[in-house]
Structure formats: C-alpha cells, structure tokens
Amino acid sequence: MAKVESFTLDHTKVKAPYVRLITVEEGPKGDKISNYDLRLVQPNKNAIPTGGLHTIEHLLASLLRDRLDGVIDCSPFGCRTGFHLIVWGEHSTTEVAQALKGSLEEIRDTITWDDVPGTTIKTCGNYRDHSLFSAKQWCRDILDEGISDDPFNRHVI
C-alpha cells in the first residue's frame, strides 16, 4: 500500500488548534498544489460532532475562498478533528491560519442560518445533519484556544 504522510504524523505530539503544511505537489507542467492540515481540536481528546462539523464545512467552502486565493477543496477528516485544505500554489501557514481565523470568527459572530449554503434536500447529501448552534459553539472554543501557525510549538496568530 502507498505510504500516506498523514498516517506518519505522531498525533500525540501536535498541539491544536493549528495549521500545518502537509505537502506541496508539483504537476508535470510545474503547477504546484499545497495540502494543509487545519486541525481544529486536539486529536484523541476531542472531536467535533457531525452536525456542527458539517455546517462548518459548508461555510468554510465559501468563507475560505473569500480570504485565500486558489482554494480547490476543504474537506473534513474522518476523525472529525479538522479539515484538509487543498490550494493552488504556495501560501505560508500564517496566511492560511489568518484566513481560517477570519472564517471561524465570521461563523461565531455574524453568520445566520440563512447564510449557510447547501442546506436543502437538493443541495446536500445529508441535509438533516446540520447544526449552526454547534458550529458557533465550537468556533468560539477553537478561537478561545487560538490558532497556531506551527503544529508542534504554540505560535498563536
């Protein structure tokens, strides 16, 4: 089986919330794609319930694109502790952490249910499993901890 970087990370050594650069991949024509680990809660200590995580996912799809150039995809980890972010080109973890922080602040402070995209039977694969209340509570807790641009040494931006 192919070796995947994410499974070589020692999850007991990281200090969430943080942004970590996983890899920069280069295509045959020299285009670069970066993959980031947006870790919102501490692995094996916490996990965001699916309703809140799902709503954060739908909102980050738009809010990160508003703040960062070249966003391709942002998808939750199966362990429910954070997201993969895939982006064209290269960005510093500080820049990504700032975009994430601004997005979570907007969810916590200003987003209403009408702002959440894709919450109908036609536009979502599990439209009943959303919770903006939970999303806001988790964003508040994550922001209270502060988002570090370094996974191993706390450097809150």
Q: Which residues bind Zn ion (CB under 5 A)?
A: 124
Minimum distance between the CB of residue 25 and Zn ion, rounded to whole angstroms? 27
Distance CA(65)–CA(125), nearest Å, equals 22
Distance CA(114)–CA(76), nearest Å, equals 22
User: For residues 56 and 99, which CB has a smaller minimum distance to Zn ion in the complex?
Assistant: 56
Distance CA(18)–CA(93), nearest Å, equals 9
Minimum distance between the CB of residue 125 and Zn ion, rounded to whole angstroms? 5
Q: What is the CA radius of gyration of the chain?
A: 15
User: For residues 8 and 120, which CB has a smaller minimum distance to Zn ion in the complex?
Assistant: 120
User: For residues 75 and 92, which CB has a smaller minimum distance to Zn ion in the complex?
Assistant: 75
User: For residues 44 and 75, which CB has a smaller minimum distance to Zn ion in the complex?
Assistant: 75
Tell me how far the alpha carbon of residue 136 is from its chain's centroid. Answer: 14
Minimum distance between the CB of residue 126 and Zn ion, rounded to whole angstroms? 6
Residue whose CB is nearest to Zn ion in the complex, by number: 124
Q: Tell me the sheet residues that pair with 21.
A: 36
Minimum distance between the CB of residue 99 and Zn ion, rounded to whole angstroms? 21
Helix (H, G, I), strand (E, B) or coil at 25: strand
